[in-house]
Amino acid sequence: MALIAGFVVAVVATPLAARLAARLGLIDRPGPLKVHSKPVPYLGGLAVLAALLAPLAGVRPSLLVPLGLACALGFADDATDLPPAVRLAVEVGIGVAAAWVAAPHDAVHVALGVLAVLVLVNAVNLLDGLDGLAAAVVGLGAIGSFVVLSGASATFALALAGGLGGFLVWNAPPARVYLGDAGSYLIGTALAMLFLAAAQRHAAVVSGALLFAGVPVADTAVAIVRRMRAGTPLLRGDRGHVYDQLVDRGWSSKVAVLACVAVQGALTGAGIGIASLSGGVAVAVAVATVAVVGAGAIFAFTSPRAWTPDH
């Protein structure tokens, strides 16, 4: 029911959110770093949040607190373009809130919550550059989380997958609405909270759960290494993300999205398999997988021949 409810609510609420965005003037207009050719409204994240309300209120309402804070931060960033220092400070607070409602109340889990939120909020935001990409990738991570978790966390994961599926009805290429920062911050926080839930399980589940965010984290790692090698500021936007480079190499946007989604699907499947192994073996396989995928991505997408600052 969480999957179905999330899907239905998102399908209905997404065009309403798009209309609200248009009235508020929250429109993503074409520009030098944009791939779309006509204005597209955002605030689709509000529809995803709406899809999570009933399922989470029925099992653990406190989970809505960090999600609501993340969506509010993104909404403010959509509307006013917040300074990086303000965003960072609020993200730290969201990480504390996420750990407080989704993990034991100790310093280790609070630190893990802050780290997970900082990494995944920004990684998902950076990944949200092609129609349907971020929503599909995070949706696959949510499905993996559902398989390895139980109770309220499993319901959360299923509702998130349903909500993103409903949103994709409107966001699949050619997108009629975007997540916006409100949406990317929201689903990045949701993915972080699901990882926090997995982190309370045995080592095999933790190891497998690392792969459920494989594509967003790999893309961010590539961006960091690439910008360092090029001598460009780490916080300056560009057209050199993995999906951008695939398009620059002649792939269509749809094929680039499908390729990234396929990789995340493979990583999610691997994560589910790893979660069923014994602890030591699971850790070893997960580390090897991360090393191979990370090294391959950095080699393929950070060399001077693969990318130049002019892109």
pTM: 0.93
Tens-digit pLDDT profile for residues 157-176:
999 999 999 999 999 999 99
Q: Taken in order 286, 288, 293, 298, is the CA torsion positive or negative?
A: positive
- Quick: pLDDT tens for 282-295: 999 999 999 999 99
Percent of the chain having pLDDT more than 90? 79
Total residues belonging to the chain? 311
The CA distances from residue 88 to 27, 45, 95, 178, 194, in Å, are 24, 20, 10, 23, 21
Q: Are 204 and 272 in contact (CB under 8 A)?
A: no
Residues 6+ apart with CB under 8 A from 305: none
Residue 36 has pLDDT above 60, yes or no: no
Q: Dump pLDDT digits (tens) for 216-238.
A: 999 999 988 888 887 777 767 67
**300 vs 219: CA distance, rounded Å:** 12
CA distance 272 to 264: 12
> Which has more confidence, 89 or 306?
89
